[in-house]
C-alpha cells in the first residue's frame, strides 16, 4: 500500500523560507497515472490547495501563492518537495502531501485519493 | 471566501438522513468539472469519500452518496451514525483560478 510522509521543520521564522519534503513509499512516484500535491489547513480554516507536480516536473500552483512557491520532484529518491518563501503568520498551518488521481479523461478532473498524515508548521519568531 | 460554498454546519439524529450542498458557478461545477468529497476528523488527514461526483472508493459505506446538477453538488449521508461526526469538504477545478479548489467545509453534528 502506497504511503506518503511529510517531513520538515515545525517552526519557521517570519520572512524566512518554509521547506517540506514528502517521501513516497510502497509505490512508484514515476507513474504516469498520478500527480502529487500539497494542501494545507490553517487553524480553524478549511483546506487550501497549494500546488501539484507531475513526475516529469510539470507544476501547477495556486495563483495566490505562485510568486512564493516552488514545487519539485526527485524521482531517484521517490520524493517531492515544497518551498514557500517570505512566510508570515498566515502561512501557519498543517501541511499535507497527497496523491492525485484522475476521475475522467479530462485534464482537470483530479482528486486527492491518498494523503500523508500532515505536519504542523508554525511561523513565529 | 471559497468559490465553492458549503453550509457551515448541518445536524441530524442518529439514523436520519442529512445532505450537504456545494454550490459553485459556471467556472467550476457548472462548467462540467467533477466534484469530489472528503471527510476530515479532528487531528487526522482528510479521507476521500466520493470521487467523480458519485463514485465511492472501496471501503466507504454505501450510506454516503454524491450527486451533481447544474452548478451544485450534494453529499448525502443516510442512517446517520455517531462516527459520522466530522467536517466534510467538496472539491473541484476552477477555470477562472486555473487550479483546484475546496469548499469551505461543513461540520456534521450527530444529535
**Could you tell me what percent of chain B has a pLDDT over 70?**
100
Cα torsion B55, B58, B62, B66 to 10°: value is -20
B16 pLDDT band, cuts 50/70/90, is: very high
DSSP A63-95: TTTGGGEEEEEEGGGTEEEEEE-S--GGG-EEE
pLDDT at B25 over 90: yes
Cα torsion B79, B106, B92, A116 to 10°: value is -90
Task: Give CA–CA dist B111/B108, Å, rounded.
Answer: 10
DSSP letter, residue A32 = T
B26-74 pLDDT, tens digit per residue, is: 999 999 999 999 999 988 999 999 999 999 999 999 999 999 999 999 9
User: What local confidence, expressed as pLDDT, does residue A32 receive?
Assistant: 86
Cα torsion B94, B98, B99, B104 to 10°: value is -40
User: What local confidence, expressed as pLDDT, does residue A105 receive?
Assistant: 80
Average pLDDT, chain B: 96
Task: Give CA–CA dist A49/B2, Å, rounded.
Answer: 11
Nearest neighbour of B105 by CB, restricted to A46, A112, A114: A46
Under-70 pLDDT residues of chain A: none
Is the C-alpha dihedral spanning B99, B66, B40, B17 positive or negative? positive
Q: Report helix, strand or coil for B49.
A: strand
Interface of B with A (CB under 8 A): 2, 33-34, 36, 38, 40, 44-48, 51-52, 55, 57, 89, 91, 93, 95, 97-105
Cell matching residue B83? 462516527
Q: Report helix, strand or coil for A49.
A: strand
Give the mutation candidate from A40, A107, A109, A120 for the B interface (greatest B CB count, under 10 A): A109
B71-100 pLDDT, tens digit per residue, is: 999 999 999 999 999 999 999 999 999 999
Amino acid at each position: 500500500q502506497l504511503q506518503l510522509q511529510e517531513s520538515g521543520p515545525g517552526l519557521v521564522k517570519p520572512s524566512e523560507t518554509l521547506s517540506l519534503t514528502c517521501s513516497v513509499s510502497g509505490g512508484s512516484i514515476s507513474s504516469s497515472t498520478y500527480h502529487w500535491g500539497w494542501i494545507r489547513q490553517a487553524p480553524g480554516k478549511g483546506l487550501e490547495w497549494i500546488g501539484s507536480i507531475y513526475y516529469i516536473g510539470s507544476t501547477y500552483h495556486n495563483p495566490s501563492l505562485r510568486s512564493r512557491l516552488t514545487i519539485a520532484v526527485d524521482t531517484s529518491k521517490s520524493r517531492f518537495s515544497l518551498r514557500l518563501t517570505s512566510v508570515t503568520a498566515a502561512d501557519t498551518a498543517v501541511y499535507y502531501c497527497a496523491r492525485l488521481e484522475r476521475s475522467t479523461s479530462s485534464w482537470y478532473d483530479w482528486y486527492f485519493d491518498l494523503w500523508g498524515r500532515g505536519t504542523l508548521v508554525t511561523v513565529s519568531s | 471566501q471559497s468559490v465553492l460554498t458549503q453550509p457551515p454546519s448541518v445536524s441530524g439524529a442518529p439514523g436520519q438522513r442529512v445532505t450537504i450542498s456545494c454550490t459553485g458557478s459556471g467556472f467550476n461545477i457548472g462548467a462540467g468539472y467533477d466534484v469530489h468529497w472528503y471527510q476530515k476528523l479532528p487531528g487526522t488527514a482528510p479521507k476521500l469519500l466520493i470521487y467523480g461526483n458519485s463514485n465511492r472508493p472501496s471501503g466507504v459505506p454505501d450510506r454516503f452518496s454524491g450527486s451533481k446538477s447544474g452548478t451544485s453538488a450534494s453529499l448525502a449521508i443516510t442512517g446517520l451514525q455517531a462516527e459520522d461526526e466530522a467536517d466534510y469538504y467538496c472539491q473541484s477545478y476552477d477555470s477562472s483560478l486555473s487550479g483546484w479548489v475546496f469548499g469551505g467545509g461543513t461540520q456534521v453534528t450527530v444529535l
